[in-house]
Amino acid sequence: MAVVLPAPCLQRAQGTIPASAGIGLRAEHYHEVAETRPAVGWFEAHSENYFGGGGTPLRVLESLRADYPVSLHGVGMSLGSVDPLDERHLTRLKDLIMRIEPGLVSEHLSWGSYNGCFHNDLLPLPYTEEALDHFVVRLTWVQEFLGQRLLIENPSSYLEFAHSTLPEWEFLAEATRRSGAGILLDLNNLYVSCRNHGWDTHEYLRGLAGGPIEELHLAGHTHRPMEHGDLLIDTHDGPVCREVWALYVEALTAFGPKPTLIEWDARLPPLAELLVEARTADRHLEARSHALAG
């Protein structure tokens, strides 16, 4: 079905991402979102899906940008790789940033390519001093190249390296402190990784106390039975579970109200169902704001 959009509009909504719930912009919802302009605080778009330079994806994103703040979330920069940074990728992102004027731009604490081959995945780093130095140099360079501060998101992972010497939260806190970047704390990833590796979720949150947490992600995951109990897989294909909602409340108490994204990427529900999840997040955010005001 063709997406009918109003003519491009130079007037734009202000760009700052509010401390309210946002939802991910997905191709399956382009038509409905363009038609209904749902009552949601902001949208997050996967940057790489808009690297084409034209056509429906960019038209939809630009048209939404007229009415909403937009955050750009990248999955393909491969910040932690030893490969050279891909300048074409960074140039495409820079062009997109100039075009969309996003409120936030984020990437991951991970790597994705070796020797020019990309895994299409967010792979875990060994949490060593060497990897930390490398990550900080790259992140600093990228922020300068883009003229844009980044938020860095904690990944979900299914293995730990025996040679890691730092806990993930310390690595994340230190990498962002040294580079001046912010933190996008994904509470589903935090939960998944803590469960998979036997880390303590409270210790993880305490480890980031005072850190520049500027956005939160909430998503669903899947339990995969293994010989020694379930492994949790970060599938983004269902509603946010009870345990992750509880972590969310804990995070709001620790860090205050923050922009919160409902991430749902696979087996997408009708838009209405996503909006119900967003309203639940909004209720938690309001409760926290009232508690702070009171």
Partner 1 sequence: MPSLAETQRGFAAAVFASDPGSIRPWIRANGLSPERRLGLYRNNTFLGLSEALRDGFPVVHRLVGTEFFDALARSFVAEHPPRSGCPLDYGAEFPASIAGSELAASLPYLPDVARLEWAWHEAFHAAEAPAFGIAELAAMPPEGHTQLSLRLRPSVRLLASPWPVLRIFHVNQPEYSGDPSIDLDRETGCRVLVLREGAEVLLHSLSVGEFACLERLSGEGSLETAFEAAIRAEPGFDLPASLVRLMGLQVFSHPARSA
Single residue of 51, 68, 255, 264 touching partner 1 by CB under 8 A: 51
- How far apart CA 30 and CA 35 sit, in angstroms, is 9
Asked whether position 231 contacts partner 1 by CB under 8 A, the answer is yes
Single residue of 111, 169, 191, 255 touching partner 1 by CB under 8 A: 111
Place of tokens 């990784």: 193
Beta strands 111-114; 42-46: pairing state: unpaired
Single residue of 32, 128, 250, 289 touching partner 1 by CB under 8 A: 128
Site string for partner 1, 184-213 (x = CB under 8 A): -------------xx---------------
Residue range at the interface with partner 1 (CB under 8 A); choices 87-95, 139-147, 180-188, 215-223: 87-95
Asked whether position 115 contacts partner 1 by CB under 8 A, the answer is yes
Does residue 34 contact residue 5 with C-beta atoms inside 8 Å? yes
Asked whether position 114 contacts partner 1 by CB under 8 A, the answer is yes
Pick the closer one to partner 1 by CB: 88 or 242. 88
- For residues 14-23, one letter each, b for 16 or more C-beta atoms within 10 angstroms of the residue's C-beta and e for the rest, the string is ebebebbbbb
- How far apart CA 164 and CA 203 sit, in angstroms, is 18
Asked whether position 130 contacts partner 1 by CB under 8 A, the answer is yes
- How far apart CA 29 and CA 34 sit, in angstroms, is 8
In the complex, least distance from residue 131 CB atom to partner 1, rounded to whole angstroms: 5
Asked whether position 294 contacts partner 1 by CB under 8 A, the answer is no
Asked whether position 55 contacts partner 1 by CB under 8 A, the answer is yes
| End-to-end Cα, the chain, rounded Å | 49
Exposed (0-12), middle (13-18) or buried (19+): which is 131, by Cβ within 10 Å? buried
Asked whether position 84 contacts partner 1 by CB under 8 A, the answer is no
Per this entry, what is the length of the chain? 294
Asked whether position 233 contacts partner 1 by CB under 8 A, the answer is yes
Pick the closer one to partner 1 by CB: 54 or 294. 54
- How far apart CA 287 and CA 186 sit, in angstroms, is 20
Residue range at the interface with partner 1 (CB under 8 A); choices 2-10, 182-190, 270-278, 283-291: 2-10
Asked whether position 171 contacts partner 1 by CB under 8 A, the answer is no
Q: Which of 45, 1, 2, 3 is CA-nearest to residue 22?
A: 45
Single residue of 35, 37, 87, 161 touching partner 1 by CB under 8 A: 161
Asked whether position 118 contacts partner 1 by CB under 8 A, the answer is yes
Q: Cβ contacts of residue 109 below 8 Å, gap of 6+?
A: 79, 80, 125, 135, 152, 153, 154, 155, 168, 171, 172, 175
In the complex, least distance from residue 95 CB atom to partner 1, rounded to whole angstroms: 10
Q: Which of 199, 209, 196 is CA-nearest to residue 251?
A: 209
Residue range at the interface with partner 1 (CB under 8 A); choices 105-113, 139-147, 182-190, 207-215: 105-113
Binding site for partner 1 (CB under 8 A): 2-3, 5, 48-49, 51-57, 59, 75-78, 80-82, 86, 88-89, 92, 111-121, 123, 125-126, 128, 130-131, 134, 158-163, 197-198, 226-229, 231, 233
